[in-house]
Amino acid sequence: MAKISADIAQIVDITARRSDSFYLQVALSNDDGTIYNIIDSASAAYIAEMFIYDSTDRLTLKFQSHSNNSATAGVIVESISVNTSTSTLTIEALGSDMGLYSGNYKYKLVLSSDTDNEVNTVMVGKFKIIDI
């Protein structure tokens, strides 16, 4: 029996220090090494979002590439920049935004488009916060 997986997400574990500034740069590529297409069918860049969940699956922190009109606690707007020519995502947050308690969390990094309803989870894994 053959197995087929439509899951393209790579598993990458991340460790960050509590209250330190956070910086992560991710270059997306296809299995053959070519640049991953982060342009939707309407020629717009995908929206990038990184969701961080605690052990009860409660959303505790969210980085996103876009701004929205409703400010929500734990959501850091415009903290992800998307470079469409190199398929690079850069996530940056101030130390004041990284106040999660020390411990183990999980995350997923998602690219989505409002114009063509496409959603792709490109990275998942553990998100560990250390202190001291």
Q: What is the pLDDT of residues 46-87, one digit of tens each?
A: 899 999 999 999 999 999 998 866 557 688 888 999 998 999
**Residue whose C-alpha is closest to residue 50's, from 96, 102, 9:** 9
Percent of the chain with pLDDT over 70: 96
Report the pLDDT value the prediction gives residue 125, as an integer from 0 to 100: 98
pLDDT of 34-46, one tens digit each?
A: 998 888 777 877 8
Q: What's the mean pLDDT when you consider all of the chain?
A: 90
**Residue whose C-alpha is closest to residue 81's, from 132, 24, 6:** 24
Whether residue 20 is predicted with pLDDT greater than 80 in this model: the reply is: yes
Report the pLDDT value the prediction gives residue 67, as an integer from 0 to 100: 80
Report the pLDDT value the prediction gives residue 8, as an integer from 0 to 100: 85
Provide the CATH topology of domain 10-29+44-130: Immunoglobulin-like (2.60.40)
Note the helical H segments in 1-123. Answer: none
**Residue whose C-alpha is closest to residue 128's, from 99, 105, 107, 96:** 105
Whether residue 14 is predicted with pLDDT greater than 90 in this model: the reply is: yes
